[in-house]
Structure 1
Amino acid sequence: MRTAFDFSPLYRSSIGFDRVFDLLENASRATTTIDNWPPYDIARTGEDDYRITMAVAGFSQDELSMTQEQNMLLVTGEKNGEDKAEYLHRGIAGRAFERRFQLADHVKVNGASLENGLLTIDLKREIPEEMKPRRIEIGSAAATPKVAQRKIEAEKQAA
């Protein structure tokens, strides 16, 4: 049973969260037949460091592709040649795939490596300096410069 959420009350009192609400709406519309291949892990390796590990057995480096566009990481795999062997049992999937990962703001791909059939993608959240919290000193009244008050005098007119 699926429940639809109404986010309209949140739009009235929040600013800049449009993307989050869109993600929640899209997640609620996701189909029930989600492709689980290839299997992957997402791990947090530090305060701002993450690692995605995908099991891509049978794929070589030139058969894999990674693209990052804004907040989306797209990993695709496509076999170059067609295997003409007659299989009695095929347990190692060699089909093409496309896996999308939604990234938070300021998350960048640091690097990727392929070893022993595992594609490892290292990610790092790099918050710009102007967005980091900063401490603001509160000065005393004596330390604040006083603004000189100007007096405006009106000309006196003789009657």
Structure 2
Amino acid sequence: MRMQSDFAPYRRSTVGFDRLFNMLETTSRDEDDHPPFDIVKTGTDSYRITLAVAGFRAEDIEVIAQQNLLTVSGKRTEETGQEEFLHRGIAARPFARRFQLADFVEAGDARFENGLLSIALHRVVPEAMKPRRIEIGANKSAQDQIVAPGGEVREAA
């Protein structure tokens, strides 16, 4: 049983976090647990999502990466066999699982092995967003110099 959270007090005291609160509220309402999945941090800026998709083939699954959203969906093709199931415990229903990704997180390769779909994720921060060192000069004003991301000092145009 999941508990509902009320984010109203936080919404009143914060600015610019609307997307985060909307995502948390949407996630808390998502009761579907099919297919089950794991999220593993494999390095400083790398992750792996693994979904248990027993009964599906690689051709039945679609992985779509958009900005800040990864969607994994599956739909089994109709079986042509004449089997009569006495019990069907392996879920064969179509699914769509959505993962909200943080800024600068990109999906890498996807692998399907032994009924498990693994998707690699990497956080790639652009050079312009990384911290850079600003040199302090005694002879020139700060307006006259620009320090490039590589550390080289250039004169302002």
Fold conserved between structures, TM > 0.5: yes
Identity score, percent: 51
CA distance in 2, matches of 1:100, 1:53: 13
8 A Cα contact 2:49 2:119, kept in partner: yes
Give the secondary-structure state (helix, strand or coil) at the position aligned to 2:65.
strand
CA distance in 1, matches of 2:5, 2:53: 35
**C-alpha deviation, 1:37, in angstroms:** 1.2
Aligned residue for 1:5? 7
Q: Which has the larger radius of gyration?
A: 1
Aligned residue for 2:123? 125
CA distance in 2, matches of 1:138, 1:21: 41
Q: Which residues of structure 1 form unaligned runs of 5+?
A: 146-159
Aligned residue for 1:17? 17
The residue type equivalent to 1:94 in the other structure is A
**C-alpha deviation, 1:118, in angstroms:** 0.7
The residue type equivalent to 2:7 in the other structure is F
Matches within 5 A, 1:1-159: 2-6=4-8, 7-11=11-15, 16-27=16-27, 30=29, 34-82=31-79, 84-140=82-138, 143-144=139-140
The residue type equivalent to 1:4 in the other structure is D
What TM-score does the superposition give when structure 2 sets the normalisation length? 0.77
**C-alpha deviation, 1:26, in angstroms:** 3.3
Number of equivalences:
136
**C-alpha deviation, 1:86, in angstroms:** 1.8
CA distance in 1, matches of 2:61, 2:82: 21
**C-alpha deviation, 1:112, in angstroms:** 0.2
Give the secondary-structure state (helix, strand or coil) at the position aligned to 1:45.
strand
Structure with more of its chain in strand, by fraction: 2
What TM-score does the superposition give when structure 1 sets the normalisation length? 0.76
The alignment yields a C-alpha RMSD, in angstroms, of: 1.9
Aligned residue for 1:153? none
8 A Cα contact 2:7 2:21, kept in partner: no
Give the secondary-structure state (helix, strand or coil) at the position aligned to 1:21.
helix
Could you list the structure 1 runs, at least 4 aligned residues long, displaced by more than 6 angstroms after superposition. none
